[in-house]
A = this chain, B = another copy of it.
Amino acid sequence: MSIKHVLLGSLFKEPKTGFDLKKVLDGSVSHFWSAELSQIYPTLKKMQDEGLVTCEAQARNKIYHITDAGRSELLRWIKTPMGISQQREAFMVKIYFGACLTNGELLRVIDEQKGLHNQTLAEFEAALKTADSIAGVLEPEAAREFRIQLLTLRAGIQYHKFWAAWCDDAVGELKRLPDLPGQAT
């Protein structure tokens, strides 16, 4: 139910076209939400019907503006607690039913996953380094917004660190367990 709120957030400060909004979604936002143009355009139309945005039609363009109703809906939504989102974690499915693999096979599965997390971690840490130096040269108001947005990057970094650490723990635990019957240790 939340693509609407992403669009409202993106339109909060300046009006944009559907195409512009897609570019916002392809930026930093892509790490926690994504959408295709084929979803964005119909959603904007619905939001117009609901009075959340208005459409300024130009020659080759449609520029969407947030309305007062849209602004207060965004603020209302942010302030309303909504519980913890139930995530589908295919990797946990693999582990939960992983007892039908040998210890060696399972260790390889976990090790590969750890590699993926460490890779993303390195990218995110490089991005944070760059971003921090940018934040230093902004005026206070812009810096505030930027640093608030950076909190999501910090979350990403800690998230991948958490998974990499879990992989280490799991490897340690697995090595203490007996192997599947019929496997030479």
Check if A19 is an interface residue, CB within 8 A of chain B: no
Given A34-B86, A78-B94, A158-B162, A173 and B147 touching (CB < 8 A)? yes
Instruction: Establish whether residues B140 and A178, one from each chain, have CB atoms under 8 Å apart when the complex forms.
Output: yes
A contact patch SS: helix
What copy number does this chain have within its complex?
A: 2
Check if A84 is an interface residue, CB within 8 A of chain B: yes
- Of A4-12, A38-46, A50-58, which binds chain B? A4-12
Q: Chain B contacts of A148 at CB under 8 A?
A: 95-96, 98-99, 106, 174, 177
Instruction: Establish whether residues A178 and B74, one from each chain, have CB atoms under 8 Å apart when the complex forms.
Output: no
Interface residues as binary, A141-165 with B (CB distance below 8 Å gives 1, 0 otherwise): 1011101110110110011011001
Give, as a whole number of angstroms, the nearest-CB distance from A76 to chain B: 11
Check if A129 is an interface residue, CB within 8 A of chain B: no
A contact set with B: CB distance below 8 Å: 2, 5-6, 8-10, 12, 28-29, 31-34, 71, 74-75, 77-79, 81-101, 105-106, 108-109, 112-113, 116-117, 120, 140-141, 143-145, 147-149, 151-152, 154-155, 158-159, 161-162, 165-166, 169-170, 173-174, 177-178, 180-181
Extra pairs beyond A5-B93, A33-B88, A143-B177 (14, CB < 8 Å) = A2-B88, A5-B97, A9-B100, A32-B93, A79-B101, A79-B105, A81-B109, A84-B113, A87-B87, A144-B178, A147-B177, A148-B174, A151-B173, A154-B166
